[in-house]
Amino acid sequence: MVDAQTQGDVLNQALPYIQEFRGQTFVVKYGGSAMRDASLMEGVIRNVLLLQLVGIRAILVHGGGPEIDTWLGRLGIEKKTLNGLRVTDDDTMDVVEMALAGRANKALVAAVQKAGGQAIGLSGRDADLLEAERISDELGRVGDVVKVNAHVLTVATGAGFIPVVCSVATDFEKRALNVNADSAAAAIAAAVGASKLILLTDTNGVLADKHDANSTISQLGAAEAREMITSGKADRGMIPKLEGALHAIDHGVGSVHLINGGLPNALLVEVFTHSGVGTMIVGGR
């Protein structure tokens, strides 16, 4: 058990970070095992709420692949993927929207409010928050975000609410599109001028050796991240996260953090301590 003096030292270490980040905006992308485990979900939500209570404007973005898969199975709809992305026909899109904008989104809103905060659940279709274009005919109703209505989010955070945004977008004909949650979070971070984008993953950040879970890279430059994608050092699941991180960095976000959402209080340790627990991606190098 950690003694009181150590706890005090940790809190004292957080002070300069709280002073630096007060009034800034953080976008947190939430998913993976931390979203499937009730106790981990509670911990992540408490971490996000603490960010807000020390003066940081927090925006929570989520996907929900396991929830979608569960409902596809119940409804007898076959899951299909192409190059790591979910092929989304009309029936699958209905399930995606139901699972994300309905069950997953409202569960997170309820968790924030149970912890004492105030949240607003949003789909990317609300107020055209996320506008997207289809990627290809082969993927169906899968899109890339091309426009973000940042005003909706800044109004909400300015009024003291935590926006909880699911990764369903609208196309130019106002039809729903399925978008990658990491990419959606990156687009939102860029649009609202966030100082940090934090991606919760199932790994300990970016690995120097994708086969070695203990080879976490503490800090990575944008050029190094690009090289990992082109050289194949990053595995398929990490590529969209790195691409989203690079989009955010290229559009003015100060830093992107990839951390293991399954570690207790990983978000607070990454943001408010000297050492951190994951990978921080910054411009340059």
pTM score: 0.92
Domain boundaries, the chain: 22-282
Region of residue 197 (left: phi > 0; alpha: psi -120 to 50; beta: else)? beta
pLDDT at 285: 60
pLDDT at 234: 82
Q: Which superfamily, per CATH, for 22-282?
A: Acetylglutamate kinase-like (3.40.1160.10)
CB 134 within 8 A of CB 30: no
CB 164 within 8 A of CB 49: no
Q: Spell out the per-residue pLDDT of the chain, length 285, in tens.
A: 556 776 677 778 888 999 999 999 999 999 766 677 788 889 999 999 999 999 999 999 998 888 888 899 999 999 988 877 789 999 999 999 999 998 899 999 999 999 999 999 999 999 999 999 999 999 999 999 999 999 999 999 999 999 999 999 999 999 999 999 999 999 999 999 999 999 998 888 888 887 887 888 888 999 999 998 888 888 777 888 898 899 999 999 999 999 988 888 889 988 998 777 889 999 866
pLDDT at 67: 86
Q: What's the one-letter identity of residue 114?
A: K
pLDDT at 33: 62
CA separation for the pair 31, 14 (Å, rounded) = 26
Residues classed as catalytic: 29, 32, 65, 182, 241
pLDDT at 66: 82
